[in-house]
Structure 1
Amino acid sequence: MNRLSLTTSLTALLAAGLVASGCAASTGGTSEPAPAVAAEGGTLSSSVPLDHRRLPSAQGEWLISYTSADAGGKPITVSGTVSVPKSPPPQAGWPVISWAHGTTGTADVCAPSADRPGGPAHSYVGLVDQTLDRWVAAGYVVVQTDYEGLGTPGEHPYLNGRSAANAVTDIVRAARQVDPGVGSDWFAVGHSQGGHAALFTAAADQQAAGLSLRGAVSIAPGGFQTSQTTTYFQQRTGEQGVRAALPFLPTMLIGAAAVDPGIVPEQLLGDDVRPVLDAARTTCQDGIREAAPTVRAERVFREGADLGRLTAYLKSQEPEGLALRVPTLVLQGTTDVLVSKPGTDQLVKSLCERSPAIGYAVYDGADHRQVLAASQPAAQRFTEDLLANRQPANACSRP
Structure 2
Amino acid sequence: MLRSVANHVLTALLAVGLTASGCSSGGVRQEPELAPTRGSLSSAVELDHRRLPSARSEALITYGSANARDEPITVTGTVSVPAAPPPPRGWPVISWAHGTTGTADACAPSADRPGGPAHSYVGLVDQVLDRWVAAGYAVVQTDYEGLGTPGEHPYLNGVSEANTVVDIVRAARRANPGIGADWFAMGHSQGGQAALFAAAERVRSEVPLRAAVAIAPGGFQVDRTAEFFRARAGTPEVTAALPFLSPLLLGAVAADPGIAADELVADEIRPLLEVGRTGCQDDVREAAARMRPQRVFRDDAELGPLTAYLRSQDPSRLALGVPTLVLQGTDDALVGKPGTDQLVGMLCRRSAQVSYRVYDGAEHRQVLAESLPDAERFVDAVRAGRPPAGTCT
Q: TM-score, normalization: structure 1?
A: 0.89
CA contact (8 A) 2:112 2:118 kept: yes
Q: Helix, strand or coil for the counterpart of 1:177?
A: helix
Partner of 1:288: 284
Q: How far 1:239 sits from its partner (Å)?
A: 4.5
Partner of 2:20: none
Q: How far 1:25 sits from its partner (Å)?
A: 7.8
Structure 2 residue 46 is the aligned partner of structure 1 residue 49: yes
Partner of 1:171: 168
Change (3 A) 1:68 1:243: same
Q: Helix, strand or coil for the counterpart of 1:176?
A: helix
Partner of 1:196: 193
Distance in 1 of aligned mates of 2:237 and 2:91: 47
Q: How far 1:315 sits from its partner (Å)?
A: 0.3
Structure 2 residue 186 is the aligned partner of structure 1 residue 161: no
Change (3 A) 1:57 1:71: same
Partner of 2:313: 317
Following superposition of structure 1 onto structure 2, how do residues 53-64 of structure 1 map, counting pairs within 5 Å? 53-64=50-61
CA contact (8 A) 1:85 1:139 kept: yes
Q: How far 1:97 sits from its partner (Å)?
A: 0.2
Structure 2 residue 372 is the aligned partner of structure 1 residue 362: no
Change (3 A) 1:237 1:141: closer
CA contact (8 A) 1:273 1:295 kept: no
Distance in 1 of aligned mates of 2:93 and 2:255: 29
CA contact (8 A) 1:97 1:143 kept: yes
Structure 2 residue 380 is the aligned partner of structure 1 residue 384: yes
Q: Which residue among 302, 306, 310 is the counterpart of 1:306?
A: 302
Q: TM-score, normalization: structure 2?
A: 0.90
Q: Helix, strand or coil for the counterpart of 1:276?
A: helix
Structure 2 residue 196 is the aligned partner of structure 1 residue 212: no
Following superposition of structure 1 onto structure 2, how do residues 61-100 of structure 1 map, counting pairs within 5 Å? 61-100=58-97
Change (3 A) 1:25 1:119: farther
- Count of residues in Structure 1 that have an aligned counterpart in Structure 2: 369
Q: Deviations over 1:141-198 (max 9, x none)?
A: 0000000000000000000000000000000001001111100110000000000000
Give the AA of the match of 1:253. L
Q: Which residue among 225, 245, 250 is the counterpart of 2:246?
A: 250
Partner of 1:353: 349
CA contact (8 A) 1:25 1:151 kept: no
Give the AA of the match of 1:96. V
Partner of 1:185: 182
Q: Helix, strand or coil for the counterpart of 2:371?
A: helix
Distance in 1 of aligned mates of 2:43 and 2:350: 39
Structure 2 residue 124 is the aligned partner of structure 1 residue 127: yes
Kindly indicate whether structure 1 or structure 2 has the higher relative contact order, using CA contacts under 8 Å at least 6 residues apart: 1
Q: Name structure 2 gaps, 5 residues minimum.
A: 16-33
Distance in 2 of aligned mates of 1:206 and 1:285: 28
Distance in 1 of aligned mates of 2:128 and 2:203: 29
Q: Which residue among 265, 269, 273 is the counterpart of 1:273?
A: 269
Distance in 1 of aligned mates of 2:203 and 2:115: 41
Distance in 1 of aligned mates of 2:4 and 2:202: 36
Kindly, what percent of the aligned residue pairs are identical?
65
Partner of 2:115: 118
Give the AA of the match of 2:154. P
Distance in 2 of aligned mates of 1:284 and 1:151: 12
Distance in 1 of aligned mates of 2:3 and 2:243: 22
Distance in 1 of aligned mates of 2:164 and 2:62: 11
Q: Which residue among 123, 135, 141 is the counterpart of 1:144?
A: 141
Distance in 1 of aligned mates of 2:388 and 2:67: 33
Change (3 A) 1:364 1:25: farther
Q: State the superposition RMSD in angstroms.
A: 1.8
Distance in 1 of aligned mates of 2:287 and 2:366: 27
Q: Which residue among 334, 337, 356 is the counterpart of 1:338?
A: 334
CA contact (8 A) 1:25 1:109 kept: no
Change (3 A) 1:237 1:300: closer
Q: How far 1:365 sits from its partner (Å)?
A: 1.6
Q: How far 1:237 sits from its partner (Å)?
A: 4.0
Distance in 2 of aligned mates of 1:349 and 1:241: 26
Partner of 1:12: none
Distance in 2 of aligned mates of 1:232 and 1:26: 37
Distance in 2 of aligned mates of 1:131 and 1:264: 38
Q: Name structure 1 gaps, 5 residues minimum.
A: 1-23
Give the AA of the match of 1:131. V
